[in-house]
Each structure stands twice: as structure tokens, then as C-alpha cells.
């Protein structure tokens, strides 16, 4: 019967150990590790004893992790934040690419996919070159890479109406955005891609 029990798989079993069960008078092989009399401390992890399945179950039934602790120590160990009071290092931001802003995406999974997606520079269908500055200006205006001169002019007019103080009852809070739109349009309208 003991050999039939040993063929079953149990979590924590160390098969092939040539130790006998540490329980007095037991002749079964010690296949399960249990803490010994010397607990972990400054000098090392402490000692272990090897028990058979029946005696390790008996040991586990009687084991009390809080044994020897004061009421305050037990309360601190049971605190849901136990262990979190230690300082930890901050993750390095310069070790990897910056994650995209969550506000740029309607679906969080799009943001996750965008971070790990290979970044390819999208070219225009007509083959006309765009510089990095041109791409930034198009992005600021909210235009695609393939926008033509007419679409550029229509978008510029829309943004001009949105940000200009004459169309907002004299509200000058959008002057910075208006200046950026004018600069982007001025830079793009003279580029060969929009000629």
C-alpha cells in the first residue's frame, strides 16, 4: 500500500532522495521537505528535515506561521500592504521607447499594439518626398500623408475659424494653437508635395 501511495504525484515531492523520514520510528522514505528546528535568519536559510507523506501532512496540520510573534507583529503581517513599505527602484524611462499616450487611442488595446508595432514611415502614393518637419506639420493639422493642396487649404480654413479670436467672440486663449496652425500651413504650402 505504501508503494502505491508513492507513485501518486504530490506537490512538493522530491523523488529519488535517499533520506529516511525524520519522524522517530518511521521507516518510509523522506520525500517532502519541512522546516527544521533552526529557522531562517542572518546565518542562512535554516535547516530542513525530510518527512514521508503522512508525517508531512501531520506537520502541515500543526504548523503555525505566526508562532512566536507578538500581537503587533501578527497584525502587521496580516495587513494587506504588508511588504510594500520597502523602497523600490523606479523603472528607467531611457531604456526603452516611450509608450504612447492613452488619450490618443479610443481602445486601450490599440495603444498596446501601437507600442510594439514596427514603426514604418508611410510614403505618399504619388511618390513625392516629405521631410520629418512636413510630417509633423501634417500631424498638427490633422491631415493624412496623402493630403493634396486643396485638402490642405480646406483644413487650414477650418482650423483658422476654430482658433481665430474674431470667430470666438474675442477669446484669445487659442492664440498659441492659431500660431502653430499658421506656421504649419505656411511651411507646407510651399513644399513640392503640395505644388
Least Cα distance to 139 among 98, 97, 189, 180 occurs for 180
Residue 1 confidence (pLDDT): 46
Domains, the chain, ordered by start: 2-62 (no CATH), 132-194 (1.10.287)
Q: How far apart are CA 164 and CA 181, in angstroms?
A: 11
The answer to whether the pTM exceeds 0.75 is no
Give the pLDDT of the chain (195 residues) as one tens digit per residue: 455 555 556 677 877 777 889 889 998 888 888 888 777 777 777 788 888 889 989 988 888 888 888 998 888 888 777 666 666 666 655 555 566 566 566 665 665 566 555 556 678 888 888 888 888 999 999 998 888 889 999 999 999 888 888 887 888 888 898 999 999 999 998 888 887
Q: How far apart are CA 182 and CA 159, in angstroms?
A: 9
Residue 91 confidence (pLDDT): 63
Q: Mark residue 171 as left, alpha or beta (left: phi above 0; alpha: psi -120 to 50; beta: remaining).
A: beta
Residue 156 confidence (pLDDT): 92
Mind spelling out the 3-state secondary structure of 66-96?
CCCCCHHHHHHHHCCCCCCCCCCCCCCCCCC
Cell numbers of 40, please? 531562517
Amino acid at each position: 500500500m505504501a508503494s502505491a501511495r508513492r507513485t501518486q504525484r504530490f506537490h512538493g515531492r522530491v523523488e529519488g532522495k535517499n533520506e529516511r523520514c525524520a519522524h522517530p520510528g518511521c521507516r518510509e522514505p523522506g520525500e517532502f521537505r519541512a522546516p527544521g528546528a533552526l529557522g531562517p535568519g542572518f546565518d542562512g536559510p535554516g535547516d530542513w528535515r525530510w518527512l514521508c507523506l503522512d508525517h508531512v501532512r501531520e506537520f502541515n496540520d500543526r504548523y503555525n506561521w505566526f508562532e512566536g510573534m507578538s500581537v503587533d507583529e501578527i497584525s502587521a503581517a496580516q495587513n494587506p500592504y504588508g511588504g510594500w513599505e520597502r523602497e523600490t527602484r523606479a523603472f528607467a524611462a531611457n531604456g526603452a521607447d516611450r509608450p504612447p499616450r492613452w488619450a490618443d487611442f479610443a481602445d486601450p488595446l490599440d495603444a498596446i499594439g501601437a507600442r510594439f508595432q514596427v514603426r514604418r514611415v508611410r510614403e505618399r502614393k504619388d511618390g513625392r518626398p516629405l521631410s520629418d518637419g512636413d510630417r509633423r506639420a501634417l500631424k498638427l493639422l490633422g491631415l493624412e500623408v496623402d493630403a493634396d493642396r486643396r485638402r490642405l487649404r480646406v483644413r487650414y480654413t477650418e482650423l483658422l475659424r476654430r482658433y481665430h479670436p474674431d470667430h470666438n467672440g474675442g477669446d484669445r486663449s487659442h492664440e498659441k494653437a492659431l500660431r502653430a496652425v499658421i506656421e504649419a500651413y505656411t511651411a507646407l504650402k510651399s513644399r513640392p508635395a503640395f505644388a
